[in-house]
């Protein structure tokens, strides 16, 4: 297969990875960290990496690392990568597309009998979404040495700790520090990724270069009221935890709607207890995800939402506890690498406009560690975190062409 076709095959491989045994759900794509479908996907991808002549290893955070040596064995690497975990009921490109395109790039280089002056690595992180444990990006956090933020005692819905899940996956959580890379071993990190928004499609562009990634807060908010009989408790004598949570959902929506255009707030999970049709909910728990392109806007949105929640709880006579589960500040991409990606895109006949990423990415972790950039691939209708997520094989071919041109312009910049 020539270069034409490898990009399209990257797209097809994402679809292959969207079904059992690569999904927890026979009718939808759900692949969360350290589950049998995660193992199956890693094994399949490792097989594809080996076919291209890459050596394979798996670190103690269950990140798959493939490596193609350059002309000088043991040299620092240009690292491509993304994640292979998914949200629940996901589309099949968010994450795997970046890994599959990187693989296509290495395959094209190897097939041409070429060796760049540096190594090329592909990393497939397993925990970008945070769908299983409370925090996200544990694998890339460990990779860059943010070990204090990797809480091995966090639990999934079934009560399994991250440490136990790593052990069951065949990893050794007591050796998590070994995951952290030597800074000098990474020349740069480039993450190709489906855009997950409508900007490129609206601009009529197949590809884009990310300038920065929006900052995020993740909150868990617990309301404690009083459970009671649904038939006998007059409305004015109730302390309904779910009704308070419902008001908080609408307050978050209103604050984000009335705030700056880049401020967004989402309640994605709601739970009420005891959970019976004839019992007033005594407890309710919601998650709130707050994001903006800059941290001051994000933090002001958070301040207003937390103040509104405190006011709602007071008015309704329920107790409330707000836990700030995760703080991901906005991340700027490396200006020099952005320029090289644009130059590579121009070489390949694409304009590749600049855009801000509203979605979070492992590149946020890498940005403080090594020069980091992202190449976005156009997304049909801007739909993502949804099974209808879609890219075209033609756009994947274009992305592959740009990645190959990027390796050349990056190599031309390296000192002899």
Any residues with CB less than 8 A from the CB of 257 and at least 6 apart, and which?
Answer: none
Are the C-beta atoms of 93 and 389 separated by less than 8 Å? yes
Instruction: Give the whole-angstrom CA distance, residue 40 versus residue 346.
Output: 38
Query: Nearest approach, Cβ of 343 to ligand GLV (angstroms)?
Result: 28
Q: Does 360 bind ligand GLV (CB under 6 A)?
A: yes
SS3 assignment, position 231: coil
Query: Nearest approach, Cβ of 81 to ligand GLV (angstroms)?
Result: 15
Query: Nearest approach, Cβ of 110 to ligand GLV (angstroms)?
Result: 31
Cβ nearer to Mn ion, comparing 9 with 31:
31
| 319-378: contacts with Mn ion (CB under 5 A) | none
From the list ligand GLV, Mn ion, none, partner contacted by residue 360 (C-beta under 5 to 8 A by kind): ligand GLV
Report the candidate in 285, 278, 218, 288 with the shortest Cα–Cα distance to residue 251.
288
Per-residue x/- marks for Mn ion, 54-93, CB under 5 A? ----------------------------------------
Q: Does 359 bind ligand GLV (CB under 6 A)?
A: yes
HSE-up of residue 73 (Cα within 13 Å, Cβ side): 2
Q: Does 281 bind ligand GLV (CB under 6 A)?
A: no
Q: Considering only residues 91, 95, 96, 301, which one is a binding residue for Mn ion as defined by CB under 5 A?
A: 95
Per-residue x/- marks for ligand GLV, 177-206, CB under 6 A? ------------------------------
Are the C-beta atoms of 77 and 411 separated by less than 8 Å? no
Place of tokens 């925090």: 135
Place of tokens 């939402």: 305
Cβ nearer to Mn ion, comparing 94 with 397:
94
Per-residue x/- marks for ligand GLV, 383-412, CB under 6 A? ------------------------------
Place of tokens 């059992």: 20
Place of tokens 């156009």: 378
Instruction: Give the whole-angstrom CA distance, residue 164 versus residue 145.
Output: 21
Instruction: Give the whole-angstrom CA distance, residue 203 versus residue 190.
Output: 23
Place of tokens 């644009």: 342
Residue 48 region by backbone torsions, left for phi larger than 0, else alpha for psi between -120 and 50, else beta:
alpha
Report the candidate in 121, 164, 125 with the shortest Cα–Cα distance to residue 141.
125
Per-residue x/- marks for ligand GLV, 121-140, CB under 6 A? --------x-----------
CA distances from 79 to 99, 104, 179, 257 (A): 11, 14, 15, 38
Exposed/middle/buried for 51, CB within 10 Å: 0-12, 13-18, 19+?
exposed
From the list ligand GLV, Mn ion, none, partner contacted by residue 60 (C-beta under 5 to 8 A by kind): none
Tell me how long the chain is. 416
Query: Nearest approach, Cβ of 234 to ligand GLV (angstroms)?
Result: 42
Q: Does 362 bind ligand GLV (CB under 6 A)?
A: no
Query: Nearest approach, Cβ of 129 to ligand GLV (angstroms)?
Result: 5
Q: Does 192 bind Mn ion (CB under 5 A)?
A: no
Q: Does 130 bind Mn ion (CB under 5 A)?
A: no
Per-residue x/- marks for ligand GLV, 17-56, CB under 6 A? ----------------------------------------
Query: Nearest approach, Cβ of 214 to ligand GLV (angstroms)?
Result: 8
Are the C-beta atoms of 366 and 373 separated by less than 8 Å? no
Query: Nearest approach, Cβ of 241 to ligand GLV (angstroms)?
Result: 26
Q: Considering only residues 58, 94, 240, 395, which one is a binding residue for Mn ion as defined by CB under 5 A?
A: 94
Judged by the rule CB under 6 A, the positions of this chain that interact with ligand GLV are 129, 359-360
Judged by the rule CB under 5 A, the positions of this chain that interact with Mn ion are 94-95
């Amino acid at each position: 297969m020539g270069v034409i076709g490898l990009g399209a095959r990257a797209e097809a491989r994402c679809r292959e990875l969207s079904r059992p045994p690569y999904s927890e759900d026979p009718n939808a794509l759900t692949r969360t960290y350290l589950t049998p479908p995660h193992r199956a996907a890693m094994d399949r991808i490792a097989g594809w990496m080996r076919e291209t002549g890459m050596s394979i290893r798996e670190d103690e955070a269950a990140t798959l690392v493939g490596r193609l040596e350059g002309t000088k064995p043991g040299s620092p690497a240009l690292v491509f990568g993304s994640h292979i975990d998914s949200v629940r009921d996901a589309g099949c490109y968010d994450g795997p597309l970046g890994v599959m395109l990187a693989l296509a790039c290495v395959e094209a280089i190897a097939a041409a009998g070429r060796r760049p002056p540096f190594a090329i690595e592909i990393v497939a992180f397993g925990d970008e979404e945070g769908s299983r444990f409370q925090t996200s990006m544990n694998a890339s956090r460990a990779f860059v040495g943010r070990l204090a933020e990797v809480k091995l005692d966090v639990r999934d819905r079934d009560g399994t700790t991250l440490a136990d899940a790593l052990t069951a996956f065949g990893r050794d959580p007591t050796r998590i520090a070994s995951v952290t890379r030597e800074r000098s071993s990474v020349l740069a990190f480039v993450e190709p990724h489906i855009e997950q928004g409508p900007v490129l499609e609206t601009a009529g562009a197949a590809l884009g270069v990310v300038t920065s990634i929006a900052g995020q807060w993740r909150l868990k908010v617990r309301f404690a009221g009083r459970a009671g009989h649904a038939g006998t408790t007059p409305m004015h004598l109730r302390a309904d935890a779910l009704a308070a949570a419902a008001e908080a959902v609408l307050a978050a929506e209103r604050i984000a709607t009335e705030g700056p255009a880049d401020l967004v707030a989402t309640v994605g999970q709601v739970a009420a207890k005891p959970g019976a049709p004839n019992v007033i909910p005594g407890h309710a728990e919601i998650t709130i995800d707050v994001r903006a392109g800059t941290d001051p806007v994000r933090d002001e949105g958070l301040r207003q939402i937390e103040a509104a929640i405190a006011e709602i709880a007071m008015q309704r006579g329920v107790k409330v506890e707000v836990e700030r589960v995760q703080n991901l500040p906005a991340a700027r991409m490396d200006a020099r690498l952005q320029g090289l990606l644009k130059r590579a895109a121009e070489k390949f006949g694409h304009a590749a406009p600049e855009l801000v990423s509203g979605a979070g990415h492992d590149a946020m972790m890498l940005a403080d560690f090594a020069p980091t950039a992202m190449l976005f691939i156009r997304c049909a209708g801007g739909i993502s975190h949804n099974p209808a997520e879609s890219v075209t094989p033609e756009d994947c071919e274009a992305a592959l062409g740009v990645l190959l041109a990027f390796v050349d312009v990056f190599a031309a910049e390296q000192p002899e």
